[in-house]
Structure 1
Amino acid sequence: MSTPRFLSLPPGVRAQRIETPVGSFAALEALPVSGVPERWPALLIPGYTGSKEDFLAIFQTLAQAGRRVVAIDMRGQYETKGPDDPAAYSCEALGEDIDAVAEAVGGGEPVHLLGHSFGGLVTREAVIGGVIKPASHTLMSSGPAGIIGAREQAARLMLRTLPEVGLEHIWAHRLEPEAIAAGVPDHIVAFLRRRLFANSPTALVTMAEQVLGAVDRLDDLCELDVATLVLYGEHDDGWPPPLQAEMAKRLEAECVVVPGALHSPAVEAPETTAHALTRFWNAAEQRLMHNA
Protein backbone atom coordinates (compact mmCIF):
# COMPACT_ATOMS: atom_id res chain seq x y z
CA MET A 1 0.00 0.00 0.00
CA SER A 2 1.71 3.18 -1.14
CA THR A 3 1.71 6.37 0.90
CA PRO A 4 0.95 9.74 -0.70
CA ARG A 5 3.69 12.28 -0.06
CA PHE A 6 1.12 14.80 1.14
CA LEU A 7 -2.66 15.21 1.03
CA SER A 8 -3.24 18.93 0.57
CA LEU A 9 -3.83 19.74 -3.08
CA PRO A 10 -0.97 21.59 -4.80
CA PRO A 11 -1.67 24.78 -6.79
CA GLY A 12 -3.41 23.99 -10.04
CA VAL A 13 -4.88 20.69 -8.76
CA ARG A 14 -8.58 20.25 -8.07
CA ALA A 15 -10.97 17.44 -7.26
CA GLN A 16 -13.66 16.66 -9.80
CA ARG A 17 -15.70 13.82 -11.26
CA ILE A 18 -15.35 12.34 -14.72
CA GLU A 19 -18.75 11.48 -16.17
CA THR A 20 -18.86 8.62 -18.67
CA PRO A 21 -21.51 6.34 -20.18
CA VAL A 22 -20.36 3.59 -17.79
CA GLY A 23 -20.46 5.69 -14.63
CA SER A 24 -19.00 8.58 -12.63
CA PHE A 25 -15.37 8.44 -11.46
CA ALA A 26 -13.73 10.45 -8.68
CA ALA A 27 -10.70 12.28 -10.06
CA LEU A 28 -7.97 14.79 -9.38
CA GLU A 29 -7.12 17.12 -12.24
CA ALA A 30 -3.94 19.16 -12.61
CA LEU A 31 -3.56 22.09 -14.99
CA PRO A 32 -0.62 24.42 -15.62
CA VAL A 33 -0.55 27.16 -12.98
CA SER A 34 -0.15 29.71 -15.76
CA GLY A 35 -1.18 29.47 -19.37
CA VAL A 36 -3.29 26.77 -20.98
CA PRO A 37 -2.58 23.09 -21.73
CA GLU A 38 -0.86 22.87 -25.10
CA ARG A 39 0.04 19.17 -25.08
CA TRP A 40 -2.08 16.04 -25.08
CA PRO A 41 -3.56 15.07 -21.70
CA ALA A 42 -2.48 12.20 -19.46
CA LEU A 43 -4.62 9.74 -17.49
CA LEU A 44 -3.09 8.03 -14.43
CA ILE A 45 -4.52 4.80 -12.96
CA PRO A 46 -3.57 3.67 -9.41
CA GLY A 47 -2.79 0.19 -8.14
CA TYR A 48 -4.49 -2.24 -5.78
CA THR A 49 -5.60 -0.55 -2.52
CA GLY A 50 -4.32 2.74 -4.02
CA SER A 51 -6.11 5.86 -5.19
CA LYS A 52 -5.69 9.00 -7.25
CA GLU A 53 -3.87 10.62 -4.31
CA ASP A 54 -0.87 8.36 -4.96
CA PHE A 55 0.09 10.72 -7.80
CA LEU A 56 -0.13 13.99 -5.85
CA ALA A 57 3.62 14.47 -5.66
CA ILE A 58 4.06 14.46 -9.46
CA PHE A 59 0.98 16.44 -10.51
CA GLN A 60 2.53 19.91 -10.52
CA THR A 61 5.64 18.94 -12.45
CA LEU A 62 3.66 17.02 -15.05
CA ALA A 63 1.12 19.81 -15.54
CA GLN A 64 3.75 22.54 -15.76
CA ALA A 65 5.07 20.83 -18.87
CA GLY A 66 1.93 22.11 -20.55
CA ARG A 67 -0.67 19.38 -20.23
CA ARG A 68 -3.81 18.44 -18.36
CA VAL A 69 -3.18 15.51 -16.01
CA VAL A 70 -6.01 13.43 -14.55
CA ALA A 71 -5.84 10.61 -12.00
CA ILE A 72 -8.88 8.60 -10.99
CA ASP A 73 -10.11 6.10 -8.45
CA MET A 74 -11.17 2.99 -10.35
CA ARG A 75 -14.59 1.48 -9.79
CA GLY A 76 -14.80 0.31 -6.17
CA GLN A 77 -11.75 2.30 -5.06
CA TYR A 78 -11.92 5.03 -2.40
CA GLU A 79 -14.27 7.75 -3.73
CA THR A 80 -15.62 5.90 -6.77
CA LYS A 81 -18.52 3.66 -5.86
CA GLY A 82 -18.85 0.16 -7.25
CA PRO A 83 -21.37 -2.69 -7.22
CA ASP A 84 -21.25 -5.90 -5.21
CA ASP A 85 -20.87 -7.92 -8.42
CA PRO A 86 -17.34 -9.43 -8.60
CA ALA A 87 -17.52 -9.39 -12.42
CA ALA A 88 -17.27 -5.58 -12.30
CA TYR A 89 -13.70 -5.83 -10.99
CA SER A 90 -12.04 -8.10 -13.53
CA CYS A 91 -9.14 -6.56 -15.43
CA GLU A 92 -11.24 -6.68 -18.59
CA ALA A 93 -14.22 -4.89 -17.02
CA LEU A 94 -12.02 -2.26 -15.39
CA GLY A 95 -10.20 -1.83 -18.71
CA GLU A 96 -13.51 -1.01 -20.36
CA ASP A 97 -14.02 1.65 -17.69
CA ILE A 98 -10.60 3.14 -18.39
CA ASP A 99 -11.32 3.22 -22.11
CA ALA A 100 -14.48 5.24 -21.41
CA VAL A 101 -12.67 7.58 -19.01
CA ALA A 102 -9.86 8.13 -21.52
CA GLU A 103 -12.39 9.03 -24.18
CA ALA A 104 -14.00 11.56 -21.81
CA VAL A 105 -10.65 13.03 -20.75
CA GLY A 106 -9.33 13.26 -24.29
CA GLY A 107 -12.42 14.83 -25.79
CA GLY A 108 -11.21 13.83 -29.24
CA GLU A 109 -7.49 14.15 -28.49
CA PRO A 110 -5.11 11.20 -27.90
CA VAL A 111 -4.41 10.51 -24.22
CA HIS A 112 -1.20 9.32 -22.55
CA LEU A 113 -2.23 6.33 -20.42
CA LEU A 114 -0.32 5.24 -17.30
CA GLY A 115 -1.07 2.30 -15.04
CA HIS A 116 0.69 1.76 -11.71
CA SER A 117 1.11 -1.83 -10.45
CA PHE A 118 -2.34 -3.51 -10.70
CA GLY A 119 -3.36 -0.43 -12.67
CA GLY A 120 -0.90 -1.56 -15.35
CA LEU A 121 -2.73 -4.88 -15.70
CA VAL A 122 -5.92 -2.86 -16.19
CA THR A 123 -4.59 -0.27 -18.63
CA ARG A 124 -3.16 -2.97 -20.89
CA GLU A 125 -6.71 -4.33 -21.25
CA ALA A 126 -7.85 -0.85 -22.30
CA VAL A 127 -5.02 -0.66 -24.82
CA ILE A 128 -5.63 -4.15 -26.23
CA GLY A 129 -9.42 -4.15 -26.37
CA GLY A 130 -10.41 -0.51 -26.14
CA VAL A 131 -11.98 1.77 -28.69
CA ILE A 132 -9.45 4.57 -28.37
CA LYS A 133 -5.79 4.37 -29.30
CA PRO A 134 -3.68 6.05 -26.60
CA ALA A 135 -0.93 8.53 -27.40
CA SER A 136 1.35 6.30 -25.30
CA HIS A 137 1.20 3.61 -22.63
CA THR A 138 3.30 3.56 -19.46
CA LEU A 139 3.57 0.49 -17.24
CA MET A 140 4.82 1.78 -13.88
CA SER A 141 5.99 -0.89 -11.43
CA SER A 142 3.82 -3.46 -13.18
CA GLY A 143 4.52 -6.84 -14.72
CA PRO A 144 3.68 -9.29 -17.48
CA ALA A 145 1.41 -11.55 -15.39
CA GLY A 146 0.38 -12.11 -11.76
CA ILE A 147 2.43 -10.42 -9.09
CA ILE A 148 5.12 -12.42 -7.28
CA GLY A 149 7.32 -11.97 -4.24
CA ALA A 150 6.53 -10.11 -1.04
CA ARG A 151 3.54 -8.28 -2.47
CA GLU A 152 2.15 -11.55 -3.73
CA GLN A 153 2.13 -12.78 -0.15
CA ALA A 154 0.42 -9.59 1.01
CA ALA A 155 -2.32 -10.00 -1.60
CA ARG A 156 -2.80 -13.67 -0.66
CA LEU A 157 -3.06 -12.67 2.99
CA MET A 158 -5.70 -10.07 2.17
CA LEU A 159 -7.60 -12.59 0.08
CA ARG A 160 -7.49 -15.22 2.80
CA THR A 161 -8.18 -13.07 5.87
CA LEU A 162 -10.61 -10.41 4.65
CA PRO A 163 -13.65 -12.72 4.49
CA GLU A 164 -12.67 -14.31 7.80
CA VAL A 165 -11.82 -11.39 10.08
CA GLY A 166 -12.86 -8.22 8.22
CA LEU A 167 -11.07 -4.96 7.40
CA GLU A 168 -11.04 -3.65 10.97
CA HIS A 169 -8.96 -6.59 12.15
CA ILE A 170 -6.59 -6.37 9.17
CA TRP A 171 -6.11 -2.65 9.74
CA ALA A 172 -5.63 -2.84 13.50
CA HIS A 173 -3.33 -5.87 13.55
CA ARG A 174 -1.29 -5.49 10.38
CA LEU A 175 -1.62 -2.37 8.27
CA GLU A 176 -1.70 0.29 10.99
CA PRO A 177 1.25 -1.19 12.94
CA GLU A 178 3.24 -1.44 9.69
CA ALA A 179 2.54 2.21 8.87
CA ILE A 180 3.46 3.40 12.36
CA ALA A 181 6.65 1.32 12.38
CA ALA A 182 7.60 2.89 9.03
CA GLY A 183 7.30 6.38 10.55
CA VAL A 184 4.26 7.42 8.51
CA PRO A 185 2.88 10.73 9.90
CA ASP A 186 -0.37 10.57 11.85
CA HIS A 187 -2.43 12.49 9.29
CA ILE A 188 -1.29 10.13 6.53
CA VAL A 189 -2.14 7.11 8.69
CA ALA A 190 -5.61 8.59 9.19
CA PHE A 191 -5.97 9.05 5.43
CA LEU A 192 -4.84 5.48 4.73
CA ARG A 193 -7.45 4.16 7.14
CA ARG A 194 -10.19 6.29 5.62
CA ARG A 195 -9.21 5.19 2.12
CA LEU A 196 -9.04 1.49 2.99
CA PHE A 197 -12.47 1.44 4.58
CA ALA A 198 -14.00 3.39 1.67
CA ASN A 199 -13.05 0.59 -0.74
CA SER A 200 -15.68 -1.91 -1.80
CA PRO A 201 -14.98 -5.19 0.05
CA THR A 202 -15.99 -7.04 -3.11
CA ALA A 203 -13.49 -4.98 -5.10
CA LEU A 204 -10.71 -5.69 -2.59
CA VAL A 205 -11.27 -9.45 -2.85
CA THR A 206 -11.72 -9.59 -6.62
CA MET A 207 -8.83 -7.24 -7.39
CA ALA A 208 -6.58 -9.38 -5.18
CA GLU A 209 -7.62 -12.43 -7.21
CA GLN A 210 -6.94 -10.53 -10.42
CA VAL A 211 -3.49 -9.25 -9.46
CA LEU A 212 -2.50 -12.76 -8.38
CA GLY A 213 -3.96 -14.65 -11.32
CA ALA A 214 -3.32 -12.30 -14.26
CA VAL A 215 -2.13 -14.03 -17.42
CA ASP A 216 0.71 -12.86 -19.66
CA ARG A 217 -0.68 -10.64 -22.43
CA LEU A 218 2.55 -9.13 -23.73
CA ASP A 219 2.17 -10.81 -27.12
CA ASP A 220 -1.14 -9.00 -27.57
CA LEU A 221 0.49 -5.69 -26.67
CA CYS A 222 3.34 -6.35 -29.09
CA GLU A 223 0.89 -6.44 -31.97
CA LEU A 224 -0.15 -2.84 -31.33
CA ASP A 225 1.65 0.24 -32.58
CA VAL A 226 1.64 2.17 -29.29
CA ALA A 227 4.69 3.91 -27.80
CA THR A 228 5.37 2.12 -24.51
CA LEU A 229 7.44 2.95 -21.44
CA VAL A 230 8.31 0.49 -18.67
CA LEU A 231 9.25 2.46 -15.54
CA TYR A 232 10.06 0.99 -12.14
CA GLY A 233 12.06 1.56 -8.98
CA GLU A 234 15.59 0.26 -8.61
CA HIS A 235 14.51 -1.70 -5.51
CA ASP A 236 10.94 -2.60 -6.52
CA ASP A 237 9.50 -5.13 -4.08
CA GLY A 238 6.61 -6.01 -6.38
CA TRP A 239 7.45 -7.59 -9.71
CA PRO A 240 11.26 -8.07 -9.60
CA PRO A 241 13.23 -5.45 -11.57
CA PRO A 242 14.85 -8.10 -13.84
CA LEU A 243 11.37 -9.33 -14.79
CA GLN A 244 10.25 -5.81 -15.64
CA ALA A 245 13.42 -5.26 -17.68
CA GLU A 246 12.68 -8.44 -19.62
CA MET A 247 9.12 -7.23 -20.16
CA ALA A 248 10.46 -4.01 -21.68
CA LYS A 249 12.64 -6.04 -24.07
CA ARG A 250 9.71 -8.19 -25.16
CA LEU A 251 7.63 -5.08 -25.80
CA GLU A 252 10.53 -3.28 -27.48
CA ALA A 253 9.66 -0.51 -25.04
CA GLU A 254 11.73 2.24 -23.51
CA CYS A 255 12.87 1.29 -20.00
CA VAL A 256 13.55 3.69 -17.12
CA VAL A 257 14.87 2.56 -13.74
CA VAL A 258 14.31 5.13 -11.00
CA PRO A 259 17.32 5.18 -8.62
CA GLY A 260 16.52 4.54 -4.97
CA ALA A 261 12.79 3.97 -5.53
CA LEU A 262 10.81 0.88 -4.55
CA HIS A 263 7.29 0.06 -5.77
CA SER A 264 5.91 3.62 -5.92
CA PRO A 265 8.32 5.88 -7.86
CA ALA A 266 5.74 8.68 -8.00
CA VAL A 267 5.88 8.84 -4.20
CA GLU A 268 9.50 7.88 -3.52
CA ALA A 269 11.22 9.83 -6.32
CA PRO A 270 8.61 12.24 -7.69
CA GLU A 271 10.82 14.67 -9.60
CA THR A 272 12.84 11.95 -11.33
CA THR A 273 9.63 10.12 -12.20
CA ALA A 274 7.82 13.22 -13.46
CA HIS A 275 10.71 14.31 -15.66
CA ALA A 276 11.03 10.82 -17.16
CA LEU A 277 7.32 10.77 -17.97
CA THR A 278 7.36 14.25 -19.48
CA ARG A 279 10.32 13.44 -21.69
CA PHE A 280 8.69 10.20 -22.87
CA TRP A 281 5.30 11.81 -23.50
CA ASN A 282 6.80 14.70 -25.44
CA ALA A 283 8.81 12.31 -27.63
CA ALA A 284 5.73 10.15 -28.26
CA GLU A 285 3.77 13.20 -29.36
CA GLN A 286 6.53 14.30 -31.71
CA ARG A 287 6.65 10.85 -33.32
CA LEU A 288 2.89 10.69 -33.79
CA MET A 289 2.65 14.18 -35.27
CA HIS A 290 5.61 13.50 -37.56
CA ASN A 291 3.95 10.31 -38.83
CA ALA A 292 0.52 11.89 -39.24
Structure 2
Amino acid sequence: MTTSTVFTPPPGARARRLTTSRGEFAVVEMPVPAGVEERGVVLLLPGYTGSKEDFGLLQGPLADHGYRTVAVDGRGQNESEGRDDEAAYARPELARDVLAQAAAVGTRVHLLGHSLGGQIARAAVLLDHTPFRSLTLMASGPARISDSQQQRVRLLREALTALTQVEVWEAIRAMGPPEEVGGPAGGIGDQAQLRRRFLNTRPAQLLATGRQLCAEPDRVGELAAVPLPFHVLSGARDDTWPLPLLDEMSTRLRARRTVVPGAEHSPNADQPLPTARALAAFWDGLGEGFRGTAG
Protein backbone atom coordinates (compact mmCIF):
# COMPACT_ATOMS: atom_id res chain seq x y z
CA MET A 1 0.00 0.00 0.00
CA THR A 2 1.37 3.42 -0.93
CA THR A 3 0.32 6.76 0.49
CA SER A 4 1.50 10.26 -0.28
CA THR A 5 4.41 11.38 1.85
CA VAL A 6 5.23 14.72 3.36
CA PHE A 7 8.86 14.83 4.33
CA THR A 8 11.24 17.77 4.57
CA PRO A 9 14.90 16.72 4.32
CA PRO A 10 17.32 18.15 6.89
CA PRO A 11 18.64 21.64 6.01
CA GLY A 12 21.18 21.29 3.23
CA ALA A 13 20.07 17.78 2.22
CA ARG A 14 18.03 16.68 -0.75
CA ALA A 15 15.66 13.79 -1.30
CA ARG A 16 16.23 12.02 -4.61
CA ARG A 17 16.12 8.69 -6.40
CA LEU A 18 19.33 6.66 -6.58
CA THR A 19 19.40 4.74 -9.86
CA THR A 20 21.20 1.40 -9.57
CA SER A 21 21.59 -1.82 -11.52
CA ARG A 22 18.85 -3.26 -9.30
CA GLY A 23 16.33 -0.45 -9.62
CA GLU A 24 15.74 2.91 -8.03
CA PHE A 25 15.91 3.61 -4.30
CA ALA A 26 14.68 6.64 -2.40
CA VAL A 27 17.53 8.37 -0.60
CA VAL A 28 18.29 11.52 1.35
CA GLU A 29 21.75 12.81 0.51
CA MET A 30 23.57 15.34 2.66
CA PRO A 31 26.65 16.97 1.11
CA VAL A 32 29.51 18.50 3.04
CA PRO A 33 29.02 22.25 3.57
CA ALA A 34 31.02 24.78 1.58
CA GLY A 35 34.39 25.35 3.15
CA VAL A 36 34.54 21.89 4.76
CA GLU A 37 36.86 19.30 3.22
CA GLU A 38 35.07 16.07 2.27
CA ARG A 39 36.71 13.21 4.14
CA GLY A 40 34.54 10.36 2.94
CA VAL A 41 31.10 9.12 1.92
CA VAL A 42 28.79 7.08 4.15
CA LEU A 43 25.92 4.78 3.13
CA LEU A 44 23.29 4.54 5.88
CA LEU A 45 20.90 1.56 6.13
CA PRO A 46 17.84 1.79 8.43
CA GLY A 47 16.34 -0.82 10.70
CA TYR A 48 13.16 -2.86 10.85
CA THR A 49 10.03 -0.70 10.43
CA GLY A 50 12.51 2.14 9.81
CA SER A 51 13.44 4.37 6.90
CA LYS A 52 16.02 6.86 5.67
CA GLU A 53 14.41 9.58 7.80
CA ASP A 54 15.76 7.89 10.94
CA PHE A 55 19.18 9.39 10.13
CA GLY A 56 17.87 12.95 9.72
CA LEU A 57 19.33 14.19 13.01
CA LEU A 58 22.69 12.54 12.30
CA GLN A 59 23.36 13.67 8.75
CA GLY A 60 23.97 17.36 9.49
CA PRO A 61 26.54 16.74 12.23
CA LEU A 62 28.32 14.18 10.06
CA ALA A 63 28.44 16.68 7.20
CA ASP A 64 30.02 19.22 9.53
CA HIS A 65 32.70 16.61 10.30
CA GLY A 66 33.41 16.24 6.56
CA TYR A 67 31.31 13.17 5.71
CA ARG A 68 28.81 13.15 2.88
CA THR A 69 25.96 10.77 3.72
CA VAL A 70 23.42 8.86 1.66
CA ALA A 71 20.54 7.45 3.73
CA VAL A 72 18.56 4.77 1.90
CA ASP A 73 15.08 3.28 1.95
CA GLY A 74 15.66 -0.39 1.16
CA ARG A 75 13.45 -2.18 -1.31
CA GLY A 76 9.83 -2.13 -0.15
CA GLN A 77 10.70 0.31 2.65
CA ASN A 78 8.77 3.58 2.74
CA GLU A 79 9.41 5.39 -0.57
CA SER A 80 11.40 2.66 -2.36
CA GLU A 81 9.40 0.35 -4.58
CA GLY A 82 9.05 -3.32 -3.74
CA ARG A 83 7.16 -6.42 -4.69
CA ASP A 84 4.40 -8.20 -2.79
CA ASP A 85 6.11 -11.59 -2.50
CA GLU A 86 8.40 -12.33 0.43
CA ALA A 87 11.02 -13.95 -1.82
CA ALA A 88 11.93 -10.48 -3.06
CA TYR A 89 13.24 -9.67 0.44
CA ALA A 90 15.42 -12.72 0.99
CA ARG A 91 18.62 -11.69 2.75
CA PRO A 92 20.90 -12.30 -0.30
CA GLU A 93 18.59 -10.11 -2.41
CA LEU A 94 18.77 -7.26 0.09
CA ALA A 95 22.55 -7.65 0.33
CA ARG A 96 22.90 -7.37 -3.46
CA ASP A 97 20.80 -4.22 -3.33
CA VAL A 98 23.36 -2.69 -0.96
CA LEU A 99 26.21 -3.58 -3.30
CA ALA A 100 24.30 -1.94 -6.15
CA GLN A 101 23.64 1.17 -4.03
CA ALA A 102 27.32 1.46 -3.16
CA ALA A 103 28.26 1.12 -6.83
CA ALA A 104 25.76 3.83 -7.79
CA VAL A 105 27.24 6.24 -5.24
CA GLY A 106 30.40 6.02 -7.32
CA THR A 107 33.13 5.71 -4.70
CA ARG A 108 34.13 3.38 -1.89
CA VAL A 109 31.91 4.12 1.08
CA HIS A 110 31.84 3.67 4.80
CA LEU A 111 28.87 1.38 5.42
CA LEU A 112 26.66 1.83 8.48
CA GLY A 113 23.65 -0.32 9.30
CA HIS A 114 21.23 0.23 12.16
CA SER A 115 19.61 -2.86 13.74
CA LEU A 116 18.20 -4.95 10.85
CA GLY A 117 20.22 -2.68 8.56
CA GLY A 118 23.38 -3.86 10.29
CA GLN A 119 22.62 -7.47 9.54
CA ILE A 120 21.85 -6.62 5.91
CA ALA A 121 25.10 -4.64 5.77
CA ARG A 122 26.97 -7.64 7.17
CA ALA A 123 25.48 -9.87 4.46
CA ALA A 124 26.57 -7.39 1.78
CA VAL A 125 30.14 -7.25 3.12
CA LEU A 126 30.28 -11.05 3.20
CA LEU A 127 29.27 -11.14 -0.47
CA ASP A 128 31.83 -8.51 -1.52
CA HIS A 129 33.77 -6.23 0.82
CA THR A 130 35.62 -4.29 -1.86
CA PRO A 131 33.10 -1.43 -2.29
CA PHE A 132 33.48 -0.51 1.38
CA ARG A 133 36.05 1.32 3.47
CA SER A 134 34.64 0.19 6.82
CA LEU A 135 31.57 -1.35 8.45
CA THR A 136 29.77 0.12 11.45
CA LEU A 137 27.13 -2.01 13.19
CA MET A 138 24.88 0.37 15.10
CA ALA A 139 22.70 -1.35 17.72
CA SER A 140 22.93 -4.50 15.60
CA GLY A 141 23.89 -7.80 17.15
CA PRO A 142 25.55 -11.08 16.26
CA ALA A 143 22.48 -13.23 15.70
CA ARG A 144 18.72 -13.21 16.33
CA ILE A 145 17.02 -10.57 18.42
CA SER A 146 16.09 -11.01 22.09
CA ASP A 147 13.14 -13.16 23.13
CA SER A 148 11.05 -10.15 24.10
CA GLN A 149 11.60 -8.48 20.74
CA GLN A 150 10.91 -11.74 18.93
CA GLN A 151 7.50 -11.77 20.59
CA ARG A 152 6.80 -8.23 19.38
CA VAL A 153 7.88 -9.01 15.84
CA ARG A 154 5.77 -12.18 15.77
CA LEU A 155 2.74 -10.21 16.94
CA LEU A 156 3.27 -7.76 14.11
CA ARG A 157 3.70 -10.52 11.56
CA GLU A 158 0.55 -12.27 12.75
CA ALA A 159 -1.41 -9.04 12.59
CA LEU A 160 -0.21 -8.33 9.05
CA THR A 161 -1.55 -11.68 7.85
CA ALA A 162 -4.99 -11.13 9.44
CA LEU A 163 -5.66 -7.39 9.19
CA THR A 164 -5.26 -4.54 6.74
CA GLN A 165 -2.23 -2.34 7.20
CA VAL A 166 -4.43 0.50 8.43
CA GLU A 167 -5.98 -1.81 11.02
CA VAL A 168 -2.53 -2.96 12.10
CA TRP A 169 -1.42 0.63 12.56
CA GLU A 170 -4.46 1.41 14.67
CA ALA A 171 -3.73 -1.65 16.81
CA ILE A 172 -0.13 -0.49 17.27
CA ARG A 173 -1.38 2.94 18.33
CA ALA A 174 -3.70 1.33 20.86
CA MET A 175 -0.83 -0.70 22.33
CA GLY A 176 1.53 2.21 22.82
CA PRO A 177 3.94 4.55 21.03
CA PRO A 178 4.63 3.15 17.54
CA GLU A 179 8.38 3.41 17.94
CA GLU A 180 8.18 0.97 20.87
CA VAL A 181 5.75 -1.62 19.49
CA GLY A 182 5.96 -4.07 16.65
CA GLY A 183 9.69 -4.10 16.03
CA PRO A 184 13.10 -3.13 17.29
CA ALA A 185 13.60 0.05 15.26
CA GLY A 186 12.66 3.51 16.42
CA GLY A 187 11.55 6.39 14.29
CA ILE A 188 11.87 10.14 13.81
CA GLY A 189 8.84 12.26 13.04
CA ASP A 190 5.36 13.07 14.24
CA GLN A 191 2.53 10.55 14.34
CA ALA A 192 1.36 11.44 10.84
CA GLN A 193 4.83 10.90 9.39
CA LEU A 194 5.29 7.59 11.19
CA ARG A 195 1.87 6.44 10.02
CA ARG A 196 2.65 7.33 6.40
CA ARG A 197 5.95 5.48 6.61
CA PHE A 198 4.33 2.35 8.03
CA LEU A 199 1.57 2.36 5.40
CA ASN A 200 4.11 2.94 2.62
CA THR A 201 6.17 -0.10 3.59
CA ARG A 202 5.23 -3.31 1.83
CA PRO A 203 3.74 -5.95 4.16
CA ALA A 204 5.87 -8.60 2.43
CA GLN A 205 8.98 -6.66 3.42
CA LEU A 206 7.91 -6.55 7.07
CA LEU A 207 6.96 -10.23 7.06
CA ALA A 208 10.19 -11.42 5.44
CA THR A 209 12.61 -9.25 7.39
CA GLY A 210 10.75 -9.87 10.65
CA ARG A 211 11.23 -13.59 10.12
CA GLN A 212 14.94 -12.99 9.45
CA LEU A 213 15.38 -11.06 12.69
CA CYS A 214 13.92 -13.96 14.64
CA ALA A 215 16.15 -16.57 12.99
CA GLU A 216 19.42 -14.81 12.09
CA PRO A 217 22.43 -17.11 12.62
CA ASP A 218 25.67 -15.98 14.20
CA ARG A 219 27.98 -14.97 11.33
CA VAL A 220 30.54 -13.06 13.37
CA GLY A 221 33.25 -15.61 12.67
CA GLU A 222 32.79 -15.18 8.92
CA LEU A 223 32.79 -11.41 9.25
CA ALA A 224 35.95 -11.38 11.36
CA ALA A 225 37.83 -12.89 8.41
CA VAL A 226 36.94 -9.95 6.16
CA PRO A 227 39.78 -7.39 5.79
CA LEU A 228 37.81 -4.32 6.84
CA PRO A 229 37.88 -2.13 9.95
CA PHE A 230 34.80 -2.61 12.13
CA HIS A 231 32.98 -0.42 14.61
CA VAL A 232 30.31 -1.65 17.04
CA LEU A 233 28.29 1.28 18.35
CA SER A 234 25.28 1.19 20.65
CA GLY A 235 23.41 3.11 23.29
CA ALA A 236 23.95 2.49 26.98
CA ARG A 237 20.80 0.34 27.06
CA ASP A 238 19.40 -1.97 24.40
CA ASP A 239 16.57 -4.46 24.77
CA THR A 240 17.00 -5.84 21.25
CA TRP A 241 20.57 -7.09 21.68
CA PRO A 242 21.77 -6.73 25.30
CA LEU A 243 25.07 -4.90 25.68
CA PRO A 244 27.08 -7.98 26.80
CA LEU A 245 26.30 -9.56 23.42
CA LEU A 246 27.48 -6.44 21.61
CA ASP A 247 30.62 -6.27 23.75
CA GLU A 248 31.44 -9.88 22.96
CA MET A 249 30.81 -9.37 19.25
CA SER A 250 33.13 -6.38 19.27
CA THR A 251 35.88 -8.46 20.84
CA ARG A 252 35.43 -11.22 18.28
CA LEU A 253 35.65 -8.70 15.45
CA ARG A 254 38.60 -6.82 16.98
CA ALA A 255 36.37 -3.81 16.44
CA ARG A 256 36.28 -0.34 17.86
CA ARG A 257 33.57 -0.28 20.55
CA THR A 258 31.50 2.80 21.37
CA VAL A 259 28.73 3.09 23.96
CA VAL A 260 26.80 6.36 23.68
CA PRO A 261 25.60 7.60 27.10
CA GLY A 262 21.95 8.52 27.29
CA ALA A 263 21.03 6.52 24.19
CA GLU A 264 19.07 3.30 23.80
CA HIS A 265 18.38 1.30 20.63
CA SER A 266 18.56 4.33 18.31
CA PRO A 267 21.67 6.41 19.15
CA ASN A 268 21.18 8.22 15.83
CA ALA A 269 17.91 9.65 17.20
CA ASP A 270 18.53 9.62 20.96
CA GLN A 271 21.97 11.28 20.98
CA PRO A 272 22.87 12.37 17.43
CA LEU A 273 25.70 14.77 18.30
CA PRO A 274 27.85 12.41 20.40
CA THR A 275 27.00 9.61 17.97
CA ALA A 276 28.26 11.70 15.06
CA ARG A 277 31.44 12.57 16.96
CA ALA A 278 32.13 8.90 17.69
CA LEU A 279 31.52 7.88 14.08
CA ALA A 280 33.70 10.65 12.68
CA ALA A 281 36.49 9.82 15.12
CA PHE A 282 36.43 6.20 13.93
CA TRP A 283 36.50 7.10 10.24
CA ASP A 284 39.10 9.85 10.76
CA GLY A 285 41.45 7.29 12.28
CA LEU A 286 41.37 4.89 9.35
CA GLY A 287 44.20 4.55 6.86
CA GLU A 288 43.94 2.54 3.66
CA GLY A 289 45.79 -0.35 5.29
CA PHE A 290 43.92 -0.26 8.58
CA ARG A 291 42.49 -3.62 9.67
CA GLY A 292 40.78 -2.87 12.95
CA THR A 293 41.36 -2.01 16.55
CA ALA A 294 40.02 -2.93 19.92
CA GLY A 295 38.39 -0.01 21.66
TM norm structure 2: 0.89
Tell me which residue corresponds to 1:4. Answer: none
| Map of 1:279 onto structure 2 | 281
Residue 12 of structure 1 and its aligned partner are, at CA, apart by: 1.4
Stretch deviating more after TM superposition (64-73 or 111-120): 64-73
- Displacement of 1:167 in angstroms is 2.1
Name the structure 2 match of 1:85.
85
**Residue 43 of structure 2 aligns to a residue in which SS?**
strand
RMSD of equivalent CA atoms: 2.0
Q: What corresponds to 2:162 in structure 1?
A: 164
SS in 1 for 2:70: strand
Cα distance in 1 for residues equivalent to 2:77 and 2:16: 15
Q: 1:159 to 1:290 in 2, by over 3 A?
A: closer
Aligned partners of 1:260 and 1:52: how far apart in 2?
22
User: How many angstroms does 1:149 deviate by?
Assistant: 3.6
Q: Take 2:166 and 2:84, find their aligned partners in 1: how far apart are those partners?
A: 19
Distance of 1:177 and 1:35 partners within structure 2: 48
Deviates more, 1:194-203 or 1:63-72: 63-72
State the alpha-carbon separation in 1 of the partners of residues 126 and 209 from structure 2. 19
Count of matched residue pairs: 278
Secondary structure in 2 aligned to 1:115?
strand
| Structure showing the higher helix proportion among its residues | 1
Return closer, same or farther for 1:274/1:97 CA change in 2, 3 Å cut-off: same
The question of whether the paired residues in 2 share the 8 Å contact of 1:121 and 1:142 is answered with yes
Q: Please, which runs of 5 or more residues in structure 2 have no aligned partner?
A: 1-6, 181-185
Is there any run of 5+ residues in structure 1 with no aligned partner, and where?
Answer: 1-6
Of 176, 179, 193, the match for 2:177: 179
**8 A Cα contact 1:233 1:258, kept in partner:** yes
User: Secondary structure, in 3 states, of the residue corresponding to 2:132?
Assistant: coil
Q: Which amino acid aligns with 1:205?
A: L
Q: Deviations over 1:82-131 (max 9, x none)?
A: 112312212211011001101111x1x32000000000110001101026
CA offset at residue 176 of structure 1? 5.6
Partner of 1:235: 237
The residue aligned with 1:212 is 214
Q: Corresponding residue for 2:225? A: 223
* Cα deviation digits, residues 129-185 of structure 1 (max 9, x gap): 026341110000001111114322211111122101232222112236512899x9x
Distance across 2 between alignment mates of 1:132 and 1:180? 37
Aligned-residue sequence identity (percent) comes to 42
Distance 2:129 2:121 in 1: 13
Is 1:141–2:134 an aligned residue pair?
no
